[in-house]
Amino acid sequence: MKKEIPVQQGRTYEIAVKTLGTSGEGVGRVAEFTVFVPGALPKERVLVAVDEVKKTYARGRIVKILEESPERVAPLCPIYDSCGGCQLQHLSYEEQLRLKRQQVVDAVERIGGLSGIQVLPVLGAKEPWFYRNKMQFPVGRKQGKIVIGCFAKGSHDIIDTRDCRIQKEGNNTIVNVMREIVVRLHIPVYDEDRHTGILRHVVGRIGENGEAMVVLVTATKDLPKAKEITRLLKERVPNLKSVQQNIQTYRNNVILGRETKLLWGRPTIPDGIGRLRFSISARSFFQVNTEQAAVLYEKALEYAGLNGTETVIDAYCGTGTITLFLAQKARRVYGIEVVKPAIEDAKQNARDNCIKNAAFLVGDAAKLMPRLYREEILPDVIVVDPPRAGCAESVLKTFAAMQPSRIVYVSCNPATLARDMAVLETLGYTAKEIQPVDMFPQTAHVECVVLMSREQK
């Protein structure tokens, strides 16, 4: 017999919020039926208007807070309610950390089906504001005015952003200067629906010592008044070192195209994580929170347990940041990455840091690692930092077949981490502990580092 859904669209219900969802929304129930309520917090009673009803859940909005959580705080950002960049500014930072740990615990137990694994308290940021070194804001027109900023929650409606509280101050300067330049010089802005106009995105990067890079993403190969734009940026953006144009002509949501032109200055700016230095280009992947990235990588290095004699494989190495951290204490490290430009960046980063015991290979880890095994390159430790989708089971089986003593799994998604941990458990690897790290304060995201050791038979 089909079970009747106890809520109806357009009706209001009183709901006790029990937990936070993975996107930072409050989660409560009406007659055991799950309702997601953005903006609601655990320990609150809220009156909710239901806007959407699906087979297994509903979504609603707060009409009134009947009982307020003691951890609710006033958001610092004046556009927080409409902007989609942050999800947790209305929650005290201490409680953000506690609930992020709980998110990891819930994923491991419910998705992974694992119990008894120690999940340590989240390593929080010393500075949970103004931490992002990279900004990539869309440009558009709204009610006749030029707008540059974040997308609204769940849409492509651009919210004009002048003082983002999680961006470094240099990026806020860049976006405000560019808005005035676009108005002053009448630069045609991109229309997503019509695929017309020129300026699509403004990308800002702030490196070491506050050095700034501006990348103007255009829908056309030519950028009108490029020299005048550059002159005004040089006059008004402190410590500006690079102005570039990136060309993205396709009608899609990919921000950066393949071609980049240097308009003025240097092609890269320097930045660092821990003791390592990196040259950051317009298209480089680089952690947006360098301070917390150092915390994350040091923990991965600690879990690797290196003494200088080991061979290590970094299976999703990107531009080599974790690989180079590992190389400081390993005998030999092999970084594997399917994206060729990232490997070129990794090789350059190794040269820049005078690291000679790291080798970088382009290709699929599931195919390259068996080749390494045939060449008798046997890893003592495998480190993996996959995309949000996690690892394919074939990749996990490849890891286990090489029989490293330890697997260090770095994850940006507790759900896929828990799934992959369960697979590795069946392949003979037991999780010893999980260390969550708060890389993105004020948002619902949490990173983790897990130490998994091979069971001795």
Show which residues are catalytic: 412
Query: Is there a contact between 17 and 47 (Cβ–Cβ < 8 Å)?
Result: no
**What is the crossing angle of helices 414-426 and 393-401, to 10°?**
50
Chain position carrying tokens 């201490």: 94
Please count the CA atoms within 13 angstroms of the CA of 339 that sit on its side-chain side. Answer: 15
CA distance 360 to 340: 10
| Token output for 287 | 């952690």
Other C-beta atoms closer than 10 Å to the C-beta of 252 total 6
DSSP 289: -
Q: In one letter, which amino acid is 189?
A: V
The closest of 131, 162, 148, 24 to 86, measured between CA atoms, is 24
Residue type, 264: W
Residue position matching structure tokens 């280009």: 281
Q: How many CB atoms lie within 10 A of CB 1?
A: 3
The strand pairing partners of 448, in sequence order, are 411, 436
Burial class (CB in 10 A: 0-12, 13-18, 19+), 24: buried
Six token digits for residue 76:
């610092």
| Identity of residue 176 | N
